Chains A and B, each alone.
Chain A
Amino acid sequence: MSSVFQIIGPPMVGPSSSHTAGAVRIGLLARALLGETPTRAAIGLHGSFAATGRGHGTDRGLIAGLLGWNTDDERIKDAPERAKQAGLEVVFRAVDLGENVHPNSVQMDLAGADGDGIALVASSIGGGNVEVARLDGFETRLTGALDTLAVWHMDRPGFLAQLTAVLAGVAINIATLRTARAHRGAEALTVVETDAAPCAEAIALFRKMEHTRKVRVVPRFV
């Protein structure tokens, strides 16, 4: 935990920090990684999320996050109705992601308006703290505790050097950096947690890099 406000906080609407507030935050991370409000969300609930999620409003929380609402938004209980109005279609089902996955976990397949989509597995690890463990098939770790940059790219020599040079150029410190690739020379995902939000200039430079496929900026939770 990097901040005392991960322990004292978040301010939230009840009833459960893991099943309600954590669900909102997973929705917020997923929305930021998609880069827009999704039009379709297929959501698999694992373990305790499937067993007791209904009474905790886990479904409502996930939808609220996908709509971009925060953990203390009093509209959370009305999220399913608001989703329909916003053109977001959501389907829930129970899934078994295996024994090694945290009991409060969710699998999400999201589609955006232009047909672009993402798939992720995320867990609510307690006290409203969450982590994305898998994104588009890549192992990762993305928590929203810090400003985060997700870059889908090709696995090429020098790519990370270019990426970190851009951050150095705008004096943004890297807290963590994690790269996973499908196989040598194939598609890869790099997730960088930074101590400040990357500026528009830096984001434009990331997008221009030869082997970049897609760039998403995930703001830290407030």
Chain B
Amino acid sequence: MNSHFTTARELLALCAARHRSIADIAIAREIEESGETESAILARMLRYYERMRDSVREGLAIDRPSPSGLSGGDARRLLVYAESGAALLGEAFGRVIAYGCAVLETNAAFGRIVATPTAGSAGVVPACLLSLQETRGLSDEQASRALFTAGGVGHIIGANACFSGARGGCQAEVGSASSMAAAAIVEAVGGSPESAIHAAAFALMNTLGMVCDPVGGYVEVPCVSRNGMFAAHSFLAANMALAGMRCLIPFDEVVSAMRDIGRRMPPALKETAEAGLAATPTGLRFRPAPFHSSESPP
């Protein structure tokens, strides 16, 4: 039994041949690669999920600025608004935005998070799964199982493109996270593997070209708001796929396009804080102090 895959085409073939979900195949692959037992692997993922939830809760409680002063307190504001009864599109929509931002606020405060797939995109997947627990009654076990769906999609992106903002821009970070989250949502609510992959394709397709131009080089602006935004975006993509919409460009080709765009993207827009938002008059006020060619101990 070999559960190896590096493309969505291979993954879907495995799902079809075994009548199993993407999460099941990702778990089988992990058992084969690591030599660990299924229960050990599931327990580890559950621990990671609990850490993710802690990172949301911690962020929602933040009421002071981050060490850089660029963020802090917005997740809390978003939660208050979500619960106010006036929230646009309802409380659940407001909450998913708050949760996505919360993780990045925890991150900016040097708190503990789980990189999913990176720290700068760590809010997207947890926000979606936590929201599904509240709106669809998912158990912790079901939510952590959905992380394997996310991981399966992540394998394909990692094998054929990358997750590095410095190499691929924000499309590689938040784009990947949103793609993973969209697939996880679809499987978690009972959608088919094909449907999950279409959701992943819609999410990634609509983040192509997104640059990494963080103000001051800090993982805060636009990263905090972007994690809230793209948590919601993952639900949009899942919604399309669950409704039966099919992405014209197959997921594997969208991933190739992401890699190609990342390669062509100028380095000034790939995490170096030299252009874009980082180089606006306001952004320049927070310009990072680089290391110099001779530097004393910090």
User: Contact residues of A with B, CB < 8 Å?
Assistant: 1-18, 20-21, 45, 47-57, 59-60, 72, 74, 76-77, 80, 89-95, 102-104, 124-128, 195-196
Contacts and interface: CB of A to CB of B under 8 A. Distances in A.
**Which of B26, B119, B298 gathers the greatest number of chain A CB atoms within 10 Å?**
B119
A173 B172 CA distance: 34
A95 B150 CA distance: 37
B167 A15 contact: no
Interface of B: 26, 29-30, 33-35, 44-45, 48, 51, 68, 106-120, 122, 125, 147-148, 150-152, 154-155, 158-159, 162-168, 172, 180, 214, 216-220, 267, 270-274, 288-298
Nearest to B116: A8
A148 to B, nearest CB: 15
A195 B34 CA distance: 8
Contact of B34 (A3, A17, A54, A103): A3
Contact of A50 (B172, B218, B290): B290
Nearest to A63: B298
26 contacts: A1-B155, A4-B29, A4-B154, A7-B116, A8-B45, A8-B117, A8-B147, A9-B114, A11-B114, A12-B119, A14-B111, A14-B219, A15-B218, A21-B119, A52-B290, A54-B288, A56-B219, A89-B297, A93-B292, A104-B164, A125-B164, A126-B162, A126-B168, A126-B172, A128-B118, A195-B35
A4 B31 CA distance: 10
B58 to A, nearest CB: 11
Contact of B151 (A8, A54, A102): A8
Given A4-B30, A18-B118, A93-B295, A11 B112 contact: yes
Nearest to A4: B151
A11 B110 CA distance: 12
B274 to A, nearest CB: 8
B115 A91 contact: no
A47 B29 CA distance: 35
A15 B164 contact: no
A133 B5 CA distance: 26
Contacts of A56: 217-219
B272 A51 contact: yes
Given A14-B119, A57-B110, A94 B166 contact: no
The 5 residue pairs across chains A and B that have the minimum distance between CB atoms: A52-B217, A126-B164, A14-B107, A7-B154, A4-B151
**Which of A57, A74, A103 gathers the greatest number of chain B CB atoms within 10 Å?**
A103
Nearest to A220: B34
A17 B118 contact: yes
A175 B108 CA distance: 38
Contacts of B45: 4-5, 8
A133 to B, nearest CB: 15
Contacts of B152: 4
A103 B159 contact: no
Given A4-B26, A52-B271, A55-B218, A94 B116 contact: no
A8 B163 CA distance: 12
Given A3-B34, A55-B218, A89-B297, A127 B68 contact: no
A77 B110 contact: yes
Nearest to A89: B297
B266 to A, nearest CB: 12
B291 A7 contact: no
Nearest to B29: A4
A17 B119 contact: yes
Given A90-B297, A91-B296, A54 B166 contact: no
B159 to A, nearest CB: 7
